A and B are shown apart, each in its own frame.
Chain A
Amino acid sequence: MLPDRREFLIQSAGALAAFALIPEPAAALSVPQGRALRVALIGAGRQGRAILAELQKIDAVEVAAVCDVLPGRVTAGIERAPGAEGFADHRALLDRRADIEAIIVATPTHLHRAIAEDAIAARRHVYCEAPLASTVADCRAIEAAAATAATVFQAGFHGRSNPLYRRTWSLMRAGSLRDIVSVSARHHQKTSWRFPASDRTLERAANWRLDPEVSIGLAGELGAQQFDAIHWLINAWPERIDGAGSIRLWDDGRTVPDTITARLHFPGGIVLDYGATLANSYGDAHEVIHGSNAAVRLAWSNGWLFKESDAPTEGWEVYATRQQFYSEEGIALVADATQLAAQGRLRESIALPHPSLYYALADFVRSCTEGATVACSATDGARATIVGILMNQAIVTGSAVDVPASG
């Protein structure tokens, strides 16, 4: 039931009101309309296959090649992209398929740089998965290569493309949260982070996330994605990071911590409290930004705004429907409520109609075919990745790390 304005005002007095953030339906569906784009995927592991599943939904994309060093993954990739040609070596792909305009890099993180540089040199558009690289030097190199490119380079950080995060960005620019008080973010999973290899000689390569030589740990592999969204939303970057990590569950000989906690110190005293674990899944991945007028909780497919009772009424609350959130009776915010109400669709689910990854890929396609502004540049991606790398360093060494001003 859509509460009337008076009911809303009565119920919200004296209580923290929760508002579900709802993107505009047109933005949420987000179908690129330009000409067809011929794409190749390099790295057909789990993330690569997730990318293929989303690309299948975009009619303006033809996946023309799938490349992976493991033949089984090429086969599995082609299964998801009928008609694609298989490759074991990305250089052979770039040499032999001049018709392919765009490359999506979804290999293990430490292998991104070489592929991204080769693809840029071969004048292809590049979408490079987050995190961008596993060392600061590699991040800088990718950034430098992208800066000289005539083609599109998009770093695979989703927040800037996600309609819920964009809605939040607009609300924050309009002052809905007012002064930022603090930020917290979590990424909780229950999984060993070990991947099966087809034979033992490949076990170390398959488990690069647990190889301290190349892994940037939970901070880099999980955190960087969230840090970019937060940097963008609050328009600030941390100056110093301290943290700690330990093995809470997966005591199987690994040295990469399965549980980390860290603090990112921003200018003006704002602190981002971060935690990630592979030992408990409660809470999943989410970020909370507390402002003096409201808090926003973002969870990639859903988002809510919790308004303080003493915050001024902004108008949009009138168009909100209620939603239960913990013990609060919250209110769902609908962007174009009048139109939706006329269509009888106000009660439709508030979650996004596509996974977050879809929106980043749709933005990339639009940048390639329609010249749209790149959603997340190499510089933005490098900045978030470097924060992840430095956080991992702070955790591994036990000493606070200063973040260079340029990122």
Chain B
Amino acid sequence: MPAGAALSPVVTTAEPRLWPLRLATAAMGTRFELVLGGDDPERLRPVGEAAIEIIEDSHRRLSRFAPDSLVSHINRTGFARPVRLDGDMFDLFADALAVHHASDGAFDIAVAGGRGGTVLLDEGARTIRFTREDVAIDLGAIAKGHALDLAVRVLREHGVPFALLHGGTSSVAAIGAPPGMTGWRIALGRSAGARSIALRDAALSVSGPAGPRDRDGRALRPGHIVDPRTGESVPGAHLIAVTGPSARLADAWSTAITVLGRRPAALGPAWTTYRIEAD
């Protein structure tokens, strides 16, 4: 799961009426927040709530720890028989497996049993199955980005002109830009001199081997990114940030690059990667 970067969506332009709405929900063990812009607050709230609903629905479906989630259902039955998936879930698993292959196994949703190649998708039947009985999957490293991608789709369908969404500040998605700005300004890291980037119609994910930190830079938990090929924790205190067209792919790649220690050749030109050294 990506570590928390300091996300600072601090925007100083005037016209407060253009961004009247902030919504939040607790999901996937963190806080999701949506900042929505537009000139019709009465219409904006139901649209924002529809986006919140899709994030909460993703939580219910993707949690490995809730017994009634789809992921738990797959973990229980995926070896016995193929499990049918809807289009969004199939695309999520297809992306996860694509990054698994393109990163030479540095990213892996299989967390138990044999790793790598034990999860199979059937595109024609749109199903998933496991090749070994002891396989379990955990989408924790990609679920937040997936939820943000679905939420962005809802907001775009309803014509929201600009918005910033994040899950726990480590997975971020931006629609448009605040008026008069080239993008949503986001600081990578917590120090005063932290590099900042402008995010516009793109997603950002931040991972780090050191795990999440508090405002003073102290580690909140030990690092928890493990190289699935060796089972060893990844060393270091830096952060990897990835920006590109999809939040769930950004999530997967930020984890993969943290494990690999370098930008892989397979990553296309639509993607930008950053390495931020510890303060």
Contacts and interface: CB of A to CB of B under 8 A. Distances in A.
B46 A196 contact: yes
Interface string A54-91: 00110100000000000010000001111000000000
A195 B88 contact: no
Contacts, number: 61
Contacts of A194: 45-46, 49
Nearest to B86: A80
B87 A53 contact: no
B70 interface: yes
Contacts of B53: 46
Contact of B49 (A57, A191, A252, A352): A191
Given A82-B126, A194-B45, A355 B88 contact: no
A79 B46 contact: no
Nearest to A348: B67
B246 interface: no
A196 B48 CA distance: 9
A354 B67 CA distance: 7
B275 interface: no
B67 A56 contact: no
A404 to B, nearest CB: 37
Nearest to B87: A79
Interface string A238-272: 00000000000000100000000000000000000
Given A53-B61, A196-B46, A355-B68, A80 B73 contact: no
Contacts of A195: 46, 50
A192 interface: yes
Interface in A19-55: 29, 46, 52-53
Given A82-B126, A196-B47, A252-B42, A56 B84 contact: yes
A76 B242 CA distance: 30
Contacts of A351: 66-68
Contacts of B43: 196
The B interface, classified by DSSP as helix, strand, loop or mixed, is helix
Interface string A320-361: 000000000000000000000000000011011111001000
Interface residues of B, number: 28
Given A82-B87, A352-B68, A192 B46 contact: yes
A56 B128 CA distance: 12
A79 B86 contact: yes
Interface in A189-205: 191-192, 194-196, 198
B76 interface: yes
A301 interface: yes
Interface in B27-77: 42-43, 45-47, 49-50, 53, 60-61, 65-68, 70, 72-73, 76
Interface string B137-167: 0000000000000000000011000000000
Contacts of A349: 65, 67
Contacts of B76: 29, 353
A53 B70 contact: yes
Contacts of B50: 195-196
Contact of B158 (A196, A252, A358): A196
Interface in A82-123: 82
B45 A301 contact: no
A59 B81 contact: yes
B230 to A, nearest CB: 29
A195 B50 CA distance: 7
A218 to B, nearest CB: 17
B260 interface: no
A348 B67 CA distance: 9
Contact of B88 (A79, A81, A192, A196): A79
A157 to B, nearest CB: 19
A198 B84 CA distance: 30
Nearest to A354: B68
B85 interface: yes
A56 B81 contact: no
Contacts of B42: 252
Nearest to A81: B86
Nearest to A191: B49
A353 B72 contact: yes
A285 to B, nearest CB: 14
Contacts of A352: 67-68
A46 B56 CA distance: 13
B49 A192 contact: yes
B171 to A, nearest CB: 23
A195 B43 CA distance: 9
Contact of A57 (B66, B73, B126, B157): B73
Minimum-distance CB pairs A-B, first 4 = A194-B46, A80-B86, A79-B87, A196-B46
Interface of B: 42-43, 45-47, 49-50, 53, 60-61, 65-68, 70, 72-73, 76, 81, 83-88, 126, 157-158
Interface of A: 29, 46, 52-53, 56-57, 59, 72, 79-82, 191-192, 194-196, 198, 252, 301, 348-349, 351-355, 358
11 contacts: A46-B53, A56-B84, A57-B84, A81-B86, A192-B45, A192-B46, A195-B46, A196-B50, A198-B158, A351-B66, A354-B68
